[in-house]
Structure 1
Amino acid sequence: MENILKKSNIFVLEDDPDISKFLNIFLSDYFNKVIVKTDNRFNYSDLDNADIFLLDVEIPFDSGYEVCKRIKMVYPNKPVVFLTAHSQLDDKIKGLELGDDFIPKPFEPLELIARLKNLLKDKYGDLVYLDGIIVDKRAHLIVDSVTGNRIPLSETENKIFFYLFDNMNISLSREQIINHVWGVEGRSRQENSLNVYINSVRNKVDIKGKLIQTIYGYGYKLTDQKE
């Protein structure tokens, strides 16, 4: 996914005014959105839409390590990179234990981009972002885009969702869905069951009601609504 950076938002915590200004300008050429803070006086809701975090260790009123711990408690699957002048072995080990990568200052900007890109590919390379959810195509699972938590689906719910997903923006008849999930022999007795399962899938992955559209008198369609 060569454009994975342009689809991603990065949160930067850096107290040095020159470096923070540089990172804001430089990263904006690569990322969809860059949020830069210079100390720990920010709302943690600012982190909800970030896909990756770049943290200095020495920041006013706190440390990057402590911020990382709080990030990982809420968003355990989102990558955290330390960018710091602390380059001793103990610092590197601590940074790698808490986060996902450790880059000492001074740093090469293009190397930073390459590392961030690799981390995003590792974490999100098989992922598709829809409205409120992230779909892992390879693992056939769905994640809440805010919390990073997996959304549990039953086997039947999973079959229905991924049949719609694999046919994104295509209207599927009720008959097609029933045949796919239960087979031709289940067509007559699963008409009502399909309604129940569609509603259950919507309640779990489509709270806003934007993704799964009802095609009245025909069937259903999953649309590629983006957040």
Structure 2
Amino acid sequence: MKNIMKGLNILVLEDDKYISAFLHEFLSDYFANVFVHTDNRFNYSKLEHIDIFLLDVEIPFDNGYEICKQIKLLFPQKPVVFLTAHSQLEDKIKGLELGEDFIPKPFEPLELIARLENLLSNKYSEYFYLSGLLVNKVKQSVLNSKTKQEIKLSNTEKKLFFYLYNNIDLCLSKEQIIEHIWGIDYNGKANSLNVYINNLRNKVDSNGEIIHTIYGYGYKMSTH
């Protein structure tokens, strides 16, 4: 998935404190954020930041099937996976009718990751994760990985971003960048480039982790 899971959030609903603690620790190595609940005491309308749901069926005050229905009413495109000790055929059929996958307990952790990865790759396969961003080279779009909202870039900002991105981890001279963005006869030179670099940083790199200045030479976009 090209590290896409590192840019996504998962909500785990599991009332067993040992399993929930394990899932929180284990899934944290793969996802940006792992939110664990032991019952249904949460506000459904505030789950827009969640990208995938992992639900037990038997929980206090409710059951996972009903919670899945509520989630799908508000977020029909977001995948739901059931992780449960209920392994009868009718349970599996119901789980697959309501959600996207059904994993019986006990489960193999790496199999769980593989299934979650497959689901998310179908949804986000065109995107690459880059330090808080989801980048789509085909659509030439850049999304905030937390909100999944597109970051609005001007045509010049977009051209600059994807020139740096397509040459990631390579140092590009100011002259190379200026020629690519504006052409060899452009007279604005470095001053305008500096302005656009600053604008781009404000929109996609406020923490200064992606776009780096190579003093006396130019710039580079970095994966680390």
Amino acid at match of 1:159: K
Shift of 1:179: 0.9
Amino acid at match of 1:162: F
Which stretch of the first structure deviates more once superposed, 113-122 or 46-55? 46-55
Shift of 1:165: 1.0
Does the 8 Å CA contact 2:161/2:200 hold for their aligned counterparts? yes
Does the 8 Å CA contact 1:9/1:32 hold for their aligned counterparts? no
Does the 8 Å CA contact 1:8/1:31 hold for their aligned counterparts? no
Does the 8 Å CA contact 2:9/2:51 hold for their aligned counterparts? yes
Q: Give the total of aligned pairs.
A: 213
Relative to the length of structure 1, the TM-score reads: 0.70
**Residues 74-97 of structure 1: CA deviation (Å, up to 9, x unaligned):** xx7x6433446574877654x34x
Asked if residue 28 in structure 1 is aligned to residue 26 in structure 2, the reply is: yes
Shift of 1:38: 1.5
Does the 8 Å CA contact 1:24/1:35 hold for their aligned counterparts? no
Does the 8 Å CA contact 2:6/2:129 hold for their aligned counterparts? no
Unmatched tracts of structure 2, length 5 or more: none
User: Which position in structure 1 is the counterpart of 2:124?
Assistant: 124
Whole-Å separation in 2 of the counterparts to 1:170 and 1:131 = 17
Relative to the length of structure 2, the TM-score reads: 0.70
Whole-Å separation in 1 of the counterparts to 2:159 and 2:133 = 17
Equivalent position SS for 2:220: strand
Asked if residue 68 in structure 1 is aligned to residue 68 in structure 2, the reply is: no
Shift of 1:13: 0.9
Distance change in 2, residues 1:21/1:107 (3 Å)? closer
Shift of 1:218: 2.1
Amino acid at match of 1:129: Y
Whole-Å separation in 2 of the counterparts to 1:71 and 1:24 = 29
Distance change in 2, residues 1:90/1:10 (3 Å)? closer
Whole-Å separation in 1 of the counterparts to 2:212 and 2:48 = 27
- Aligned pairs for 1:71-220 within 5 A: 72=75, 79-83=79-83, 85=86, 87=91, 92-93=96-97, 95-96=98-99, 101-103=100-102, 105=104, 109=108, 112-186=112-186, 188-220=187-219
Does the 8 Å CA contact 2:83/2:105 hold for their aligned counterparts? no
RMSD of aligned alpha carbons: 4.0
**Residues 172-222 of structure 1: CA deviation (Å, up to 9, x unaligned):** 111111111122122x23543322222221111111122212223322111
Does the 8 Å CA contact 1:169/1:224 hold for their aligned counterparts? yes
Shift of 1:153: 1.4
Equivalent position SS for 2:209: coil
Shift of 1:7: 8.1
User: Which position in structure 2 is the counterpart of 1:55?
Assistant: 55
Percentage of pairs with the same residue: 48
